[in-house]
Amino acid sequence: MNAPTFYCDVATESVAEALEANRRQLAAGHEELLILYSSSRAAKAPAPLRGPLPKAKSLPPARSKRAETLTRIQRSAYPIHGIACRFDRPSMKDGERELVMRGAFAGSIASGRIMLLVGHARGPAMRSYATTAAGDLWVEEIEQGLYFAAALDVTESESPRLYRLIHQRSVHGVSTGGDSQQSTVVGGTRIVHQADVWELSLCVAAHPAREGTWVATL
């Protein structure tokens, strides 16, 4: 008989505490454990969901895929997560006050064609560290913003260094890259209703265009 699948959303005060809870559940014979790490003192992560998730057999396909992908990312060599765009606060972008609405990235997420890059690199310098198509990048909209989790590609030579920089808080944030967006201006604030995004970029040498983004190791 297969070990029971266990899902748990827990607020923890440190990444080490989250990983230790994960190890305890695995040692107890549970097949999987999903922990959303959250602490205002460490990495400014979003607040966790409250209450247990249903058992795997009752999960709809999209939810089951989420749990499987996040569990696989957590168990990878270089797992990271963060917020690439905030929904709960306006920010200054290119000298203009902007507020991105929840739902703006729904179409891009559904396309399953988002990559994780560094510094919006293009051409020969472009290196993809994770992709939604390959299943090592998960992107979703939560209350606070555009959340992502990724397993940095172990075959990419820069992944260990990038992971260390993120762990040392030397990466300034995250930026989104796309082709177009639909917006309206209300009271001097640009309200973004729809945005086409095909890449998320970790900002190592520069700061992201939007305020309030973050990235941390899992």
This prediction has a pTM of 0.69
Domain identity same for 59 and 102? no
Output the pLDDT for position 22.
Answer: 60
Domain identity same for 33 and 45? yes
| Domains of the chain: total | 2
Domain identity same for 81 and 71? no
Q: Encode pLDDT of 70-123 as tens digits.
A: 999 999 999 999 999 999 888 887 778 889 999 999 999 999 999 999 988 777
Enclosing domain of residue 188: 76-218
Q: Encode pLDDT of 172-217 as tens digits.
A: 899 998 876 888 998 889 899 999 999 999 998 778 878 889 999 9
Please give the structure tokens belonging to residue 110.
Answer: 């559904």
The string of DSSP letters for 61-120 reads HHHHHHHHHHHHHHTSSSEEEEEEEESSS-EEETTEEEEEPTTTTHHHHHHT--EEEETT
Domain identity same for 24 and 80? no
DSSP designation for 17? H
Domain identity same for 215 and 191? yes
Residues 6 or more apart whose Cβ sits within 8 Å of residue 173: 82, 203, 207, 208, 213, 214, 215
